[in-house]
Chains A and B, each alone.
Chain A
């Protein structure tokens, strides 16, 4: 261990290097972003993610913000309608530029000079406003075609253009294409161009809205108490989270003055993400300092010296900075799951520091020599610190086998953090101890006294050995019960239901699902693989039937597809005859008028002829295109081979979403031929996929963790038997985790799924500590009873403190704003204690039977010490 001699010789250099590394990582830490989109959770190359990307691309679809306007007395009154109209118009005008954008644009003007400078001056003369949309667009087009220009200017302009027109479409009853026919001809215009002031006009508008099935449940609630404004972002929400947040803030500000008596609420998946991000930052800002303070208090109480507080604390804080720095360097965002890594790292990482300070105080009391005490401490603890860090890292690193990116990140970066804490513990701690004044000697206080706790632990060990049959029976029963309980665990998560608080978004989502079709969107893409394949009446008929099937589920509030547009056109083109409120059939009979000569005069005669329904559909579509509607673009691809069925679902609980998906799948397998591909996309689909991956990933990573831990334990003890024995309490603990999950009625979600891995990663340390101590005592010549008693008195005590410290650390998570995190907090806390108890009951019991060969089976390098069997 010459390493620590060197550290002690150059303590300032060591501290300096650690500080420099910390500064380096601290600098990269600033790049870490918060991101909560479902896309961030799923692997980029997952088929569903690719399908979703493809869908967004082919159908040019972006996330929507829903603005619900609800008036209990009904919306068809001039005041409410005026509000809907004005909000629609104002939404179009939303821009989110900041003063810094003006300054940056001016700076570019000065840099580029000439024509650019002149144009930029004209643009910014009155700040950046909605009237600058055109000129900024011109600047962008010019800059794009100018090859010699800095690419950064182009990307700045691209973002600026988004900020000037962040919404690509705003739809409401005042701004939507409605195709109608009257004696004056066909008309494509919004149902409400001017707010009707007369009763007659109001009744007329209501009739118009309800006569178009595509509007009901989308733009108007069936009970006419709600109107919806849909605002589509002009960019992918994920690409510009900051702009999206400002858009929401702007829309929220717009809605403010219009509230009362009407309730106006903003909802939609992007809104949920914004709320998640904001609560998450709140949580991090609240919980991280809290856990630090709590840990400081616990440490001060146990050491009664400030050094004992600050050294372990600096270990975890430095490790935290390194970890976040690595995340910044790798460009990984903080997601809801990763957000609680700091709290956890502090709870876990503090252990090394605590052990080191305890040992140092002990040795100082013994030697009264700083150098000897530090070296002695490090010699005694370097190995356990490294070993327990490795096992904990293995437990967390196993999460990297999960397919969910965010869980993967959580596992990897927690491992990185544990590793960093280990490195800092082995460098910064001895260097700092070497430099600092030694503690005031209070001889005797730290000597290992027989306290009531150690006495109790000894008794527990003894009990476990003597009543080991009970222990085995109890263990077996527990395992069986847990196995039984596990089968009842329900997997499911929700996005809106994440929030503990009775937040705006929960109200908004409730309102939307009560009044309208719901906020969860599932896209079903029907690919005929033939150009114009969608114009086949049979295909459209199947699509419409699929929609009917889904709508009959009740939970599906609204669906729309190309079929609805064709149906609507068929009705309108046939003079609003209700019998034509249907899709064209394969062959249709129409009346043809002909001019025939009769008695020397040309007269009109009608005769029925057969026409193809396919032609009819083709012509209806052309009619729509001619009317200038871009609506179809969202529902059919350019060559009419793929259709996008938009399905809106009232609940976002994943088992419900899955049921919708399975219903659709069952229908399409029967009713769609094999030539037609059906794929699922949209946020709901991704949620379902994430859930499926969660279970398989959880099983996979738990398996991997067990294997990794077993290998590590075997290597540490150079004995497969010791490895297996060490693993035993962990197997039980993990079983217990699932039992607790099931009996408390919690669902397996991204938060609770992590509990088993966390408990395994941390709890395995207890086995390592206990077995190491036990074996070294045996080697020192103690018989198994004495070895257990001694191990219980020393290591057992440390295990109790450690598990309590970790549990307390995790209990801080109870103050989180998110249900999954709260559940994770108490589940980990309870299971940490279980894990400690199991280690301290099971290991002595096993040792009672096995006695534990003091000598490794596999390795013959160490001298063999045979322990006489006494029992």
Chain B
């Protein structure tokens, strides 16, 4: 069978099963819809972050964060602690870079000083939570390969199950995961569950997103309750979002060392 012939055969098959194609998009197609749903110019939120460990210990923090995604899909993020009192106004600024390591600064109000954090790593834990900086990055469709591996209902929500594997050599260098499995809600095009696998293929973390609502006055769906659990150690981080605001026209200069120091 020559190639043109094969294509025509496939085309024929495609015509015959056209309806099926419509129901079974590719992993990439699903991720593109997800991306479109996820995309905002900027987003800010206030949330409580509760860290629990397997031995019943608990730490609670309240913080706000503001993110802005640039044309390349790189994210800038400024985090500011509100509570507990001893860390109030402590700030973290991170700027994702395509061409080099991300830039990160921190501001300690008790010292009135900002410090650049050198040698930062995508696999570092974000303020001691179970989320790494990598988990907070925007999804880079071109750096991964997405395969649709099934369809499942999670907490009553119908979802596509996508396997995401980094293909970009640089990304492979910096990622902490050999693969991720993403459950994308067929209704909201939002990640409602994710499983993370470490370098040796071991399942290490489980992400769950519930309480999905539309942000007031927008088309965007967001989860207001999220957990990230280290399934080996049993440690867990719970995020409870009080409020989301999007597309307020936050300027780039907001994500600067000077703002980090000032804005507190």
By a beta-carbon cutoff of 8 Å, the part of chain A in contact with chain B is 57-58, 60, 130-135, 137-138, 141, 181-182, 184-189, 532, 535, 573-574, 588, 590-593, 609, 611-612, 614-620, 622-623, 625-628, 637-639
In addition to A182-B118, A619-B90, A622-B87, 8 A-B residue pairs with Cβ atoms within 8 Å of each other are A134-B197, A141-B203, A185-B117, A590-B113, A616-B110, A619-B111, A622-B127, A638-B51
Please list 25 pairs of residues, one from A and one from B, whose beta carbons are closer than 8 Å in the complex, sorted by A's number: A57-B55, A132-B200, A133-B202, A134-B198, A135-B201, A138-B203, A181-B115, A182-B118, A185-B115, A186-B115, A186-B116, A188-B119, A532-B84, A574-B111, A590-B110, A611-B112, A615-B109, A618-B84, A618-B86, A619-B86, A619-B111, A626-B92, A626-B124, A626-B126, A628-B128
Complex Cα distance, B200 from A618, in Å, reads 36
Tell me if B110 and A138 are in contact (CB < 8 A). no
Tell me if A638 and B118 are in contact (CB < 8 A). no
Name the interface residues of B79-106: CB closer than 8 Å to any CB of A: 81, 84-87, 90, 92, 105-106
For chain B, the bracket of interface size reads 35 or more
Tell me if A137 and B112 are in contact (CB < 8 A). no
* Interface flag for B231 (CB, 8 Å): yes
List, in ascending order, chain B residues with CB within 8 A of A130's CB: 200
List, in ascending order, chain B residues with CB within 8 A of A619's CB: 86-87, 90, 108-111
Tell me if B110 and A187 are in contact (CB < 8 A). no
- Closest residue of chain A to B262, judged by CB? A595
Q: Which of A137, A574, A615 is in CB contact (< 8 Å) with B86?
A: A615
List, in ascending order, chain A residues with CB within 8 A of B105's CB: 185
By a beta-carbon cutoff of 8 Å, the part of chain B in contact with chain A is 51, 53, 55, 57-59, 81, 84-87, 90, 92, 105-106, 108-113, 115-119, 121, 123-128, 178, 197-203, 231-232
Tell me if B201 and A616 are in contact (CB < 8 A). no
Tell me if B112 and A609 are in contact (CB < 8 A). yes
Tell me if A185 and B118 are in contact (CB < 8 A). yes
Tell me if B124 and A60 are in contact (CB < 8 A). no
| Minimum distance in angstroms from B249 CB to a CB of chain A | 24
List, in ascending order, chain B residues with CB within 8 A of A187's CB: 117-119
Tell me if B84 and A135 are in contact (CB < 8 A). no
Tell me if A611 and B110 are in contact (CB < 8 A). yes
Complex Cα distance, B118 from A130, in Å, reads 32
List, in ascending order, chain A residues with CB within 8 A of B111's CB: 573-574, 590, 611, 616, 619
List, in ascending order, chain A residues with CB within 8 A of B128's CB: 622, 625-626, 628
Q: A137-B232, A622-B128 are in contact. Are A638 and B110 (CB under 8 A)?
A: no
Q: A134-B201, A187-B119, A532-B84 are in contact. Are A58 and B55 (CB under 8 A)?
A: yes
| Minimum distance in angstroms from A639 CB to a CB of chain B | 6
- Top-4 shortest CB links A-B: A638-B57, A134-B202, A618-B86, A625-B128
Tell me if B86 and A617 are in contact (CB < 8 A). yes
| Minimum distance in angstroms from B34 CB to a CB of chain A | 26
Tell me if B55 and A628 are in contact (CB < 8 A). no
List, in ascending order, chain B residues with CB within 8 A of A141's CB: 203, 231
List, in ascending order, chain A residues with CB within 8 A of B202's CB: 133-135, 137-138
Complex Cα distance, B121 from A614, in Å, reads 29
Tell me if A573 and B125 are in contact (CB < 8 A). no
Complex Cα distance, B123 from A618, in Å, reads 23
Tell me if A628 and B125 are in contact (CB < 8 A). yes
Complex Cα distance, B128 from A638, in Å, reads 11
Complex Cα distance, B198 from A135, in Å, reads 10
- Closest residue of chain B to A606, judged by CB? B112
| Minimum distance in angstroms from B50 CB to a CB of chain A | 12
List, in ascending order, chain B residues with CB within 8 A of A535's CB: 86
| Minimum distance in angstroms from A58 CB to a CB of chain B | 7
Tell me if B110 and A615 are in contact (CB < 8 A). yes
Kindly name the residue among B81, B106, B197 whose own CB sees the greatest number of chain A CB atoms within 10 A: B106
| Minimum distance in angstroms from A433 CB to a CB of chain B | 64
List, in ascending order, chain A residues with CB within 8 A of B115's CB: 181, 185-186, 573
- Closest residue of chain B to A588, judged by CB? B110
| Minimum distance in angstroms from B59 CB to a CB of chain A | 6
Tell me if B110 and A134 are in contact (CB < 8 A). no
List, in ascending order, chain B residues with CB within 8 A of A189's CB: 119
Q: Which of A132, A181, A573, A618 is in CB contact (< 8 Å) with B87?
A: A618
Complex Cα distance, B126 from A188, in Å, reads 14
| Minimum distance in angstroms from B208 CB to a CB of chain A | 15
Complex Cα distance, B157 from A312, in Å, reads 79
List, in ascending order, chain A residues with CB within 8 A of B127's CB: 622, 625-626
List, in ascending order, chain A residues with CB within 8 A of B178's CB: 134
| Minimum distance in angstroms from B81 CB to a CB of chain A | 8
- Closest residue of chain B to A572, judged by CB? B115
List, in ascending order, chain A residues with CB within 8 A of B51's CB: 638
- Closest residue of chain A to B115, judged by CB? A186
Complex Cα distance, B204 from A15, in Å, reads 61
Tell me if B109 and A628 are in contact (CB < 8 A). no
List, in ascending order, chain A residues with CB within 8 A of B199's CB: 134
List, in ascending order, chain B residues with CB within 8 A of A185's CB: 105, 115-118
Tell me if A637 and B57 are in contact (CB < 8 A). yes
Q: A141-B231, A626-B128 are in contact. Are A638 and B55 (CB under 8 A)?
A: yes
Tell me if A623 and B108 are in contact (CB < 8 A). yes
Tell me if B201 and A532 are in contact (CB < 8 A). no
| Minimum distance in angstroms from B233 CB to a CB of chain A | 9
| Minimum distance in angstroms from A630 CB to a CB of chain B | 9
Complex Cα distance, B55 from A639, in Å, reads 11
Tell me if A134 and B203 are in contact (CB < 8 A). yes
Complex Cα distance, B116 from A532, in Å, reads 27
Q: A619-B108, A638-B57, A639-B58 are in contact. Are A628 and B118 (CB under 8 A)?
A: no
List, in ascending order, chain A residues with CB within 8 A of B84's CB: 532, 618
